[in-house]
Structure 1
């Protein structure tokens, strides 16, 4: 019976676990002993540090699953310390273990030993998984209760204090260590100035941004101010002494806000930096400047005519260019692209680098269509794919070549030793076993490197599919409306940027694999150039 090959999967979700008996070294030690006792060969280890098992979005875990699905995988068994290291979600357990079993890979636990191939083992393993998920859900609920009570009492639940405040530790009546906010003298003055500039000096977000950057007043992180940061300061009720918690849904990444009735808002939780009247004046002024419902309706109806937005980069700082317009027809243009960093943070951070829209887009489109036409020619796609394969895998191919040479050299030495052994009528020659072990190690290294190679192999049908897609884009790009043109361009363009030294624009064209799951990088990356049509080069 061939020796079974196993890999270890270890995970910790927090610093505290990393320092206790669940540390990754402790898990690996137990897994190694388990494999040794079973007579299995441990051929790899996959480690996720600071990753929760409530989700399958873990880099090492995903890499392990991806390799397990391949026909030439190098393991038959995944070994974990406990099943909750693999997953704490019953749904994920069922999905991933079913997927692994389909490909002939089993999951074993060191501390919860079951035989998943028997009815009894299947039942026991399922019960352990349900208990683990119950523990996780109960822990989450209890933690939420504690944090809710802490917030209702006006204490901080973690994270950085907003600009203008600093965290201070105190001891409550029960002797527990708690965190509150107190004003930071230097930052508090800046916050007061921001509110004063907006309400009393009638300055807008951008004007305040430019003024702070002009005075070389940094943000807490040491960066320049942006108008979005100014907006956040002016609309943050923390500055009137409110503590708001449970505002964002962090279970889904924190980007989505929870319903307002679920927020916990505590008034007078800390010393305010501005008066309530001043804060209300900000809300009144910003509301009068822009009616949200009107703005949203316009946003839905208006389609941007700027087809290069999001693709065009500033030639100086590399930030995405934004768009603007004016009515000064004497300049020869009314719509233009200009630096996004300049727009947000002012001239102290970057030049404006204004570029007229129509001239740039016409010159770009001619170069882009010419390049796609060239890619459609017979043999060009095949050449580019092979070139990209060699370029991307050059380091690995060189290493594979060197390992193969090393194996051939070892094989010659083994043959010489065996011939010497034959001459001595079967007498064992010293060094043969060491050479065979060395060869076995190098063969394992060779297999590992070959597995790491990005496979760019495509069938003739897949190549024709890519060619048909490119040809379709060539036919449609000049006749579609701007919003559709932009979608077509985003499929093939990674970036467009002016090189001021040569006064040429560089277009980085990408061609993706027909099946997005087959390759974790573009199939082709190709550069082409066109001359800057704007003689002024932007100011």
Structure 2
């Protein structure tokens, strides 16, 4: 008696005709009638997953891995229909070829009987093409249906703050306790000229939460202000065209007047925002290291340049406070932090502070070139692994894999040589090396940001700034050294 594996796939729970239980019952019945043994561990089921991509189906990939074992664990794979195996002709041809040529395993459809002749090959290809066409056409039909519903004013998403949908396909109804928050947001913005940031802080101070029970942020308030749903409109975004959207009058009751909606819309339409200038190079070496004592978020580092004095200053501020989530400012100057930090380091390492000395020439290592080489090495390693997978999966022949492997391996060797040259030049001692102490390193302008960050993170896990008590607490990586 031959051993069989069965593969079951269903896209959605609505496909009752193809439900997992129905497929399993029919497949086991076929196996029994045709003298196939089906062990329980060889029953593979993917529920609620599309058949368009094989790598997104965990049970399918597990079955393929099992099929490649030696000796082969089963002789055939039974499916209810070929479209259960795959709706992509590319995947279907790839994996059927792999199973047949390398594993000696056939895929059998229990409802589409095919013989081992040339006409069956043509018929199977037609069935696979029809399955792929059905999948693509279904996607188009779903989009058409959603678009048509949006044009008629139907809503197709989770209700926003201020509304609720108690039953499926029901028109969104106003939820009064949340609606009061929404009306307050528009009132503060239009009549009291409060910014989204100020509104978020005020709502958080009063203990109000978003629809998902999170504190309000500046961007949350802006989303609410820009949402036409509150004025009685439905906005449907077409995914295939990022700039195209449908805006139509909805069937639900509005929370704000048309005049209020147009006032807010005009404000954001006419507002001219200066593009944010991103600083070049590495991020600040203190980034992510200092935490807010109030909310636990990281303190962001901000750069300020005074052109008259030709000086640059750095300040830290709580990320949560910047968004309106945290109610307490935790602004801290880099100068004050650095002074306290170096004092703490010297206290913890009074005799070992010079152990972390680094020569100036070490700091001049071309870190950008080194990083570029490392990234290139990583990309070529991935390319080599993909070439190997393509050969194992039957996509490439042995000759094709050998040519690709030789070319990629040559590139990897050249990159590794470049990395070694950079390391050798770094390790070359100067005739008169200048050494920096740990405190000098953190305050030096010639030391790169990445070097400072690496040194600091090797010593300290994180720092907590408590603005209320005006304290900085340093959590060292070494046990019993937190200060």
Shift in CA distance, 311/84, structure 1 to aligned 2, threshold 3 Å = farther
Q: How far is the alpha carbon of 1:225 from its aligned partner?
A: 1.6
Q: How far is the alpha carbon of 1:369 from its aligned partner?
A: 12
- 1:266 matched residue in structure 2: 248
- 1:196-230 Cα shifts (integer Å, max 9, x gaps): 22233232222211111111112122222222211
1:18-57 equivalences in 2 (<5 Å): 20-36=16-32, 37-42=34-39, 43-56=41-54, 57=56
Structure 1 regions of 5+ residues with no counterpart?
Answer: 170-176, 250-256, 374-460, 507-527
Structure 2 regions of 5+ residues with no counterpart?
Answer: 307-311, 346-353, 363-411, 428-444, 466-471
Q: Is the 8 A contact 2:51 2:84 kept in 1?
A: yes
- 1:180 matched residue in structure 2: 171
Q: How far is the alpha carbon of 1:153 from its aligned partner?
A: 1.6
Q: Is the 8 A contact 2:153 2:251 kept in 1?
A: yes
SS at match of 1:103: helix
1:401-480 equivalences in 2 (<5 Å): none
- 1:166 matched residue in structure 2: 164
Give, in whole Å, the separation in 2 of the partners of 1:127 and 1:502: 70
- 1:235 matched residue in structure 2: 226
Give, in whole Å, the separation in 2 of the partners of 1:127 and 1:152: 37
How many residues were matched structurally?
A: 383
- 1:280 matched residue in structure 2: 262
Shift in CA distance, 499/7, structure 1 to aligned 2, threshold 3 Å = farther
- 2:108 matched residue in structure 1: 108
- 1:271-299 Cα shifts (integer Å, max 9, x gaps): 332233333333444456542xx416x35
- 1:41-65 Cα shifts (integer Å, max 9, x gaps): 5342322221122333223233334
Aligned-residue RMSD, C-alpha: 5.0
- 2:11 matched residue in structure 1: 13
Q: Is the 8 A contact 1:308 1:361 kept in 2?
A: no
- 1:432-485 Cα shifts (integer Å, max 9, x gaps): xxxxxxxxxxxxxxxxxxxxxxxxxxxxx99x979x79x969969x99986xx5
TM-score by length of 2: 0.62
Structure 2 residue 216 is the aligned partner of structure 1 residue 225: yes
Select which of 203, 206, 215 maps to 2:206: 215
Give, in whole Å, the separation in 2 of the partners of 1:368 and 1:233: 52
- 1:344 matched residue in structure 2: 323
1:303-314 equivalences in 2 (<5 Å): 305-306=283-284
SS at match of 1:295: coil
Q: Is the 8 A contact 1:164 1:185 kept in 2?
A: yes
Shift in CA distance, 309/201, structure 1 to aligned 2, threshold 3 Å = same
Shift in CA distance, 12/342, structure 1 to aligned 2, threshold 3 Å = farther
TM-score by length of 1: 0.57
- 1:94-117 Cα shifts (integer Å, max 9, x gaps): 3333444453244332222335x5
1:72-151 equivalences in 2 (<5 Å): 74-75=73-74, 77-104=76-103, 105-115=105-115, 118-151=117-150
